[in-house]
Amino acid sequence: MVSSLDKYKSHPDKRLLDHIDGVKNNAKLVIDSKLIELIAIFHDMGKMNPYFQKKLNGEIDLESKFNHHAYLSAFIFFCTFCNNTHNLYVLSDFLKKEKIIRNDIVAIVVLISKHHTNLPDFSPKSHGDFYYADMILSEIEVGYLYAIIDAIGSLPYYEMVKCYFPDIEDFTSNLFDSKVRDTFSKYLLFDEKANKQALDFFMEHQFAFANLVFADKVDAGSKEAIIDRGNLASKSFLRVFPQKLNSYLENLSQANELNRLRTAIREEAISNLAKGLQCQQHVFNLTSPTGSGKTYILLSLASFLMQEKHINRIIYVLPFLSITEQVENEILKIVGNDGQFVHRIDSKSQNKQLDNLQNVMDEECDNEQLKEYALLAFQENTFSYPMIITTFVRFFETLLSNKNAELLKLPNFTNTVFLLDEIQALPPRLYTFFVAYIERFCEKYNSYAVFSTATLPAFRLPENDITVKEFFSSFIEPQQLLSLDYFRHSFFNRYFISVSQTSISLEELRDQILSENESSLVILNTIDDTKKLYKLLLDNSKPEELLLLNTHVTPRHRKIKIYLAKRRLREKKRVILISTQLIEAGVDIDFPIIFRDFTIIPSVIQSAGRCNRNRELPLGKVILFKLERNGQLRGKLIYQGKDRYLYDITQQLMKDGYYEEGQLLQVQQKYFSNLLKNLEFATHSQGRPKLFFDFLKDIKKCMYNKIGKFHLIDEELYGEEKRYYIPRSAYDKNFDRLLSLKSEYSSMYKKHASIDLLKLQSAKIHNQLKAMSNDIVLVRTNSTQTLPILSRPEDYFGLYEISFGSYSFNLGIDADNCII
C-alpha cells in the first residue's frame, strides 16, 4: 500500500510521507499534542493533487489555480471523519475527547486550509463595520477545490489516511458527494454559544496553528539543526548562567547600605518564589521600589526557575526600545565570554553571526553558506535562543497574533521564563487581562512569568463580574514576592513631592528652574513643550548646561546626552536635562531636583524614581506642576477620551500639597483600586485600524484576524508615525546604499531569482536598516505639524532621508507641534 504512495512528493527532493512524518515529529519536540499531530498528518495530503506534482516538476504554470493543495488537504480530513459515525469515533479516540462537536471540526478544517496564510476570524460576520461573508473559508477557493477533485478523479486518499488511521472505513465517495460538499461549503459555521471553554479553545488552536507552521518550515527547509542547536544551547546556558550570575553578584560590594538592602530584597524574593512553586504557582508579582535592583532580582529569579524547573529559555520583555540595549549590556557583563547565548531582538539589534556570514558571502557565495544563512535567520525569527531581550510590542503582539510569520515565535514561548519589566506601561484596562491570559498560557505550556513594577497595579479580577470570573475560571492572583514594607523602609524615603494646584506658563516654569542653583531634570508631556522650554532656557543659561532629550533626537545622540548628563552630575557641575517621559523607566540617573508636568500616578512614581536615587541627600525635591499653553493643560493632551479618567483620578488623589516617598504607597493603592472598579475590563480602542476590542467576547468568537490587528500604540490618537533617516554628515551614503539594495531586489525578483538568493538580498536590506537604526527618528505627524525638509523625494517603504540641515544635535529634528 505504502509503495503506491511513494511517488508523491511534498517538495522536489522529499517524499510526501517523509514530510508528513517529519512535521509530525518536529511538532512533538515542542509539545506532545494530539490536536497538533492530527493537523500535521493532514496538512499536506492535498499535495497528491497531480497538478501540484506537475508544478514540483516544473511542468505547469506556477500561477495555475489547479495546483493548490491546502483546501484539498482540509477537505480530505472533513470527508474522512464527518459523514461516518465509525470514523468519527476513531477521531474522538485519537484526540482523547469524549465528544467531537462542530466547533472542533470547523477549527481543524481552518487550521489545515489556512496553514500557508494567516488565521482568520471564526465568526467573521461580527467583525466591526465591515462586510464579511458568513463563511470562514474562501468561496472562490472552495470552487477551485471541487473543480480540482472532479478533474483529477480517483486518488489513493483512503490509502494515504489509512497509513495513520488503520481502523477507518473507506470515505472516498464523500469527496464527490453533493451533500457533503454542500455541508463543507455552506454549513461549516462556528457556534460561539457552544464554545464553553473559550480561553483554552482560543489558545490551543492558535498554538496548534503556530506549531504546525513552525514544524512545517523546519522540515521543508531542512532546518532540523535549529532544534538540535537550540537544545544544545539551552543545556549549556542552564549550566553556565546560574554560576556566572552568582559569581557576579557575590563580587558586588556590600560596603554600602543600598547594596546590602538590595541583597536582602533579592534573597527574600527567591525564598518566596520557592514557596510559590511548591503551591504550583506559575505567575509571580515583583513589586519593589525604584532603585532596589530589579534587573538583578529578575535574573536571579529566572536562574532559580531554570534550575528548579529545567526551563529552556528566558525572555526578558521591556516596554521601551531605549532600555533594551541597557539591559542587554548589564546581562553581557554577567555572562562574560558566554555572550553568544544572549540575543537582543528588536528593530535596532544586529546579529553578529549573520553580519559576519553576510560579509563572507558578499565576496563569494555557495549553497552551504546560503543554507547556513537561512538557518541563522530562521533562528532569530523564531526566538530560538536561550536568552532573548525584546520589547512589549514584539512580545504582546506575538502573543495575540494571527499572522503566519509572527506566530513562528510562539512555539518557543513554551518551557520559558518571561520577565516582564515595567508592566504598568501597558494600557490600564489590560493590566489584569494580560496577567490572567499569560497565567493560563504558562499553565498550559509549562512556562513561568514574573511581572515587575515599582508601582502597584491591582492584578485582581473585577469583584462582581461573573462573566470575567467564568472566563478566567482558574485564575489565581500572582503571588507577591516581596513585602510592601520595603516601600516604607527609611532608605527608600528619598524625596518629597510638592504638588502645585495652579497652572503655570513655560516662562514661569523657566524662572522656577533658573531659581534653583542645582542640577535639574525637567520632564514634560509633549515634544513641542520640551523644545520650546529648551529655547527659553537657552537665553539665560550656558549652552553646555542644557540638554534636550526626546524622540526627535536620534537614539545615538540620546545615548550621548545621557552620558553627558551623568558626567556633569558626577563632576558636580550643573546640568538641566529637559526630557519627555522616555527617561522615566529604566534609565539609571540621579538628580537632586525634578520638575514634572502633571501626569498619572504611575508616571509620577517613575519620574520621581530619578530623584536622589542613590540617597546622597536627606531628601530630594520633586515639583509637580500643571503646564498650560494656549488655555489648555498640556497633560490633558496625552490623556484624552476614556483615558481622561486616569488624569482626573490622579488629581483627586494628589490634592494635598506635600508627599514624601514613603507616603506614596497608600496613594498608589487607592489609584489602582479605583481603576479596577471603574475601568471597563479587557477593552481597548484604537483608531488605525479603527477597531474596538472587547477581548473576552472576541476570544469567545475566535476573532483571530481582528485580535491580530491589536496595537499597543494608537497611531490616530497621537498622529501617524513617519520615519526619517538622519545622515551623520553631508557625505553619508547609507540611504543611497539602502535604495540600491531595494532596486537590486526588484531586479532579482523580476528575473525570477531563487528563493534563497531573494532571502539573502532581503536580509542585506534588513541588516542595512539595522545599521542605520541609531540614526532613524520616529515622528508622529498630524495636520498641524511642520515637517522636516527632505534630501530627496525617494523613500524606502515610508522611510525618508531628511536634508542635512534639518537636524541638529541640540534640538533634534526640525518639526513642530508634536505631542509624542
CA distance 663 to 666: 6
Residue 63: CB partners within 8 Å, gap ≥ 6? none
Task: Please identify which residue in the block is written with the cell numbers 556566572.
Answer: 244
Q: Are residues 116 and 403 in contact, defined by beta-carbon separation less than 8 angstroms?
A: no
Establish if 540 belongs to a structural domain.
yes
Residue 77: CB partners within 8 Å, gap ≥ 6? 42, 45, 108, 109, 112
At 706, list the grid cell.
Answer: 481582528
Confidence of residue 355 (pLDDT cuts 50, 70, 90): confident
Domain boundary among 190, 220, 250: 220
Nearest in space to 111 (alpha carbons), one of 215, 250, 17: 215
Residue 56's alpha-carbon distances to 60, 522, 714, in angstroms, are 9, 64, 44
Q: For residues 651 and 797, state if they share a domain.
A: no
CA distance 332 to 330: 6
pLDDT at position 129 is 41
At 626, list the grid cell.
Answer: 500643571
Domain boundary among 681, 696, 729: 681
Its domain, for residue 602, covers 493-681
CATH number at residue 624: 3.40.50.300
Q: For residues 621 and 516, state if they share a domain.
A: yes
How many residues belong to the chain? 820
User: What SS3 class is residue 505?
Assistant: coil
**E strands along 319-442, which residues?**
342-344, 387-391, 416-421
Per the omega criterion (within 30 degrees of 0), is the bond before 124 cis? no
Mean pLDDT of 363-388: 85
Q: Are residues 344 and 324 in contact, defined by beta-carbon separation less than 8 angstroms?
A: yes
- The yes-or-no verdict on residue 107 having pLDDT over 80 is yes
Q: For residues 547 and 648, state if they share a domain.
A: yes
CA distance 294 to 452: 8
CA distance 820 to 780: 7
User: What SS3 class is residue 474?
Assistant: coil
Establish if 386 belongs to a structural domain.
no
Q: Are residues 582 and 572 in contact, defined by beta-carbon separation less than 8 angstroms?
A: no
Q: Are residues 705 and 128 in contact, defined by beta-carbon separation less than 8 angstroms?
A: no
Name the average pLDDT for the chain: 91
* Number of structural domains the chain divides into: 4
Nearest in space to 421 (alpha carbons), one of 261, 635, 584: 584
Q: Are residues 10 and 47 in contact, defined by beta-carbon separation less than 8 angstroms?
A: yes
Q: For residues 465 and 565, state if they share a domain.
A: no
Q: Are residues 658 and 497 in contact, defined by beta-carbon separation less than 8 angstroms?
A: yes
Share of the chain above pLDDT 90, in %: 73
pLDDT at position 415 is 96
Task: Please identify which residue in the block is written with the cell numbers 488552536.
Answer: 205
Q: For residues 454 and 530, state if they share a domain.
A: no
Which backbone phi and psi does 431 adopt, to 5 degrees?
-50, -65
pLDDT at position 317 is 97
Residue 464: CB partners within 8 Å, gap ≥ 6? none
Task: Please identify which residue in the block is written with the cell numbers 482558574.
Answer: 474
Q: How many CB atoms sit inside 10 A of residue 133's CB?
A: 10
CA distance 96 to 348: 46
pLDDT at position 471 is 97
Q: For residues 246 and 142, state if they share a domain.
A: no
Lowest mean pLDDT among 360-369, 372-381, 463-472, 578-587: 360-369
Q: List the Cα angle 340/343/349 in 5-degree steps.
A: 125
Mean pLDDT of 248-257: 87
pTM for the model: 0.92
CATH number at residue 251: 3.40.50
Establish if 404 belongs to a structural domain.
no
CA distance 357 to 469: 52
Establish if 592 belongs to a structural domain.
yes
Q: For residues 202 and 248, state if they share a domain.
A: no
CA distance 748 to 756: 11
Q: Helix and strand tally (H, E) in the chain?
A: 31, 24
Q: For residues 144 and 26, state if they share a domain.
A: yes
**Helix boundaries (H) for 410-526:** 431-444, 466-471, 506-515
Burial 244-269 (b: 16+ CB within 10 A, else e): bbeebbeeeeeeeebeebbbebbebb
Establish if 647 belongs to a structural domain.
yes
Q: For residues 461 and 599, state if they share a domain.
A: no
Of 430 and 786, the one with more pLDDT: 430
Confidence of residue 697 (pLDDT cuts 50, 70, 90): very high
Establish if 697 belongs to a structural domain.
no
Mean pLDDT of 482-502: 94
Confidence of residue 224 (pLDDT cuts 50, 70, 90): confident
CA distance 577 to 597: 14
Share of the chain above pLDDT 70, in %: 95
Q: For residues 132 and 111, state if they share a domain.
A: yes
- The yes-or-no verdict on residue 717 having pLDDT over 60 is no
Q: Are residues 348 and 394 in contact, defined by beta-carbon separation less than 8 angstroms?
A: no
Domain boundary among 632, 657, 681: 681
Q: For residues 28 and 141, state if they share a domain.
A: yes
Confidence of residue 398 (pLDDT cuts 50, 70, 90): very high
pLDDT at position 133 is 43
Establish if 704 belongs to a structural domain.
no
Q: For residues 588 and 673, state if they share a domain.
A: yes
Task: Please identify which residue in the block is written with the cell numbers 539573502.
Answer: 760
CATH number at residue 202: 1.10.3210
Residue pLDDT, tens place only, 473-489: 999 999 999 999 999 99
Mean pLDDT of 28-49: 96
User: What SS3 class is residue 518?
Assistant: coil
Nearest in space to 610 (alpha carbons), one of 639, 634, 638, 586: 586
pLDDT at position 3 is 61
pLDDT at position 418 is 99
- The yes-or-no verdict on residue 647 having pLDDT over 80 is yes
Establish if 234 belongs to a structural domain.
yes
pLDDT at position 132 is 39
User: What SS3 class is residue 660?
Assistant: strand
Residue 512: CB partners within 8 Å, gap ≥ 6? 504, 595, 623, 625
Alpha-carbon dihedral 431, 436, 439, 444, rounded to 10 degrees: -140
